[in-house]
Structure 1
Amino acid sequence: MTDPYARSAPDEKTPGPEDGRRRRWWLIAAVPVLAGAVIAAGVLVTGADDGKDGGRAAREAADARWAEGITPEWMAERMGLDVPATAGSPRAAYEVTSRFDTGLLTFTLTRAEAKRYLEKHPPDGKWLEPTSAQTTNAHDFAHFGLPEPETLKKGVRYGYVCPGATAESAQSPPDTYDTSDERCVRLYAHDYTPTRARIYLRTHFDPGISPLPPTPSA
């Protein structure tokens, strides 16, 4: 008797040289696809935004901390400026990061007192007035619940005040993150009411350049 299973099905063929070539081409074409998938998976694991400084910014934000025990007097001394005895709502803060530290000081004065304060601490060059609100990535004075001074556009004048600066250093604007010994302070004066002005002061320090005040004990 003839075994019906001894014969191949009508659509089955014995593998030949052409089938081997097709399999080889399929494998060659699949290699780049598989390699791309592996690279993409690696990017997802390591963080796709590292190339755009997103990863670095996240690490710096994680390292940042606000120092304790910072007083307006302590901060003013390190800025080389003063807080008038008549100043209202004086507040200070010092943020420590892995790249640079940031010192903040703010207080209010009457408009007449603010004018005298600015005359006492003139800028390198002249006072500037923004033509429109500036964009900023800073979130410094938000620590006090205040708007960033760069975002203000009415009743504002600003400049770099450099206590003890030499004539040579005053010829060119200081760098945004100037951390030299002859440091300059970014000063904004904002006439926020018809009778009062707020002074914003910000400067930057190399990490650890200023010994911080002792942490208050619990």
Structure 2
Amino acid sequence: MSATGGGVRGRRPWLVAGVALGVLTLAAALIATGRLPGGTDDGGDRLSEQAADARWVEGVTPEWMSEQMRLDIPVTARSPLAAYEVTSRFDTGLLTFTLTRAEAEAYLKEHPPEGDWLEPASAQTDVTPHDFAHLGLPEPESLKEGMRYGFVCPGVAEAAVDPHAPGVDTSDESCVGLYAHEYTPARTRIYLRDHYEPGISPLPTPPEST
């Protein structure tokens, strides 16, 4: 699905062409611990800095978040949930849904990562519940068994371009963090997280109170 014009302008570029797997792993670790590229704050510092001005946007739907991320929600998906947090430093978009194991494998094949799918060496026990906890779910970084993760770059995938090919520039693309957790023998939960420059526009209109 195509993002709105405001959504594209608000997106933060994450990766450039030719990124080595080692850099991807480091970037994944930064995201997993609540850091952003160029930052040194841990999860607790990030939350304390944002607490004064952070707010969860009302009226965010899975469909709207899917458009911002440019990643589709399969029609067979169950329990789709989405959220969007605004702060003065950066915004965070969240999207999650569940698929059967077979549907999840097809989805991951359709949306391949930069580099390889990675598996956590261990579950992170010091992750501060914040992002997906807002949706009543565990943070994906706190899970190990049945977990894969990586960065998915929708613009590159849609153009059917090899991101590692010489001369390919993905600096204008925003890569979304994707976690796939096989939480039961039959189903997989997809977690999607993206970060944006503050001020993405237009935001959803909050539902009218009755």
1:131 shift after superposition? 1.1
Q: Which runs of 4+ in 1 moved over 2 A?
A: 52-59, 134-138, 165-171
Listed one character per residue, the Cα deviations across residues 52-106 of structure 1 (whole Å, up to 9, x for unaligned) are: 9988853521210000110101000110100000100000000001100000000
Structure 1 length as normaliser, TM-score?
0.67
**2: distance between equivalents of 1:214 and 1:57?**
26
Is 1:78 matched up with 2:68? Answer: yes
In the TM superposition, residue 136 of structure 1 has moved relative to its aligned partner by 3.2
How far off its partner does 1:161 sit?
Answer: 0.1
Structure 2 unaligned regions, length at least 5:
1-40, 166-170
Q: Distance in 1 between matches of 2:188 and 2:47?
A: 34
Shift in CA distance, 82/156, structure 1 to aligned 2, threshold 3 Å: same
Any gaps of 5 or more consecutive residues in structure 1? 1-51, 172-179
Correspondence 1:202 to 2:193: yes
Q: Which residue of 1 aligns with 2:181?
A: 190
Shift in Å, 1:137: 4.1
Deviation at 1:211, TM superposition (A): 1.6
The match for 2:56 among 43, 54, 66 is 66
Aligned ranges 1:42-121 → 2 under 5 Å = 58-121=48-111
* SS of equivalent to 2:154: coil
Partner of 1:90, secondary structure, is: strand
Q: Where does residue 24 of structure 2 map in the other structure? A: none
Aligned mate of 1:144, from 131, 135, 152: 135
Which has the bigger relative contact order, CA under 8 A and spacing at least 6?
2
User: Taking structure 1 as reference, are residues 90 and 129 closer, same or farther at Cα in structure 2, changes over 3 Å only?
Assistant: same
Q: What is the CA–CA distance in structure 2 between the aligned matches of 1:109 and 1:84, rounded to whole Å? A: 8
Counterpart pick for 1:163 among 154, 157, 172: 154
> Counting helix residues as a fraction of each chain, which structure ranks higher?
1
**Distance in structure 1 (CA, Å) of the matches to 2:82 and 2:201:** 15
Q: Distance in 1 between matches of 2:45 and 2:150?
A: 33
Shift of residue 181 of structure 1?
4.9
Cα 1:139–1:154 change in 2 (3 A) is same
Cα distance in 2 for residues equivalent to 1:169 and 1:122: 11
Taking the aligned partners of 1:122 and 1:99, their CA distance within structure 2 comes to 29
State the aligned residue count.
Answer: 159
RMSD: 2.4
8 A Cα contact 2:104 2:188, kept in partner: yes
Instruction: Name the larger-Rg structure.
Output: 1
Superposition deviation, residue 138 in structure 1: 5.7
Deviation at 1:209, TM superposition (A): 2.3
Q: Give secondary structure in 2 for the equivalent of 1:93.
A: strand
Matched residue SS, 2:117: coil
User: Deviation string for 1:28-55 (max 9, x for gaps)?
Assistant: xxxxxxxxxxxxxxxxxxxxxxxx9988
**CA shift at 1:210, angstroms?**
3.3
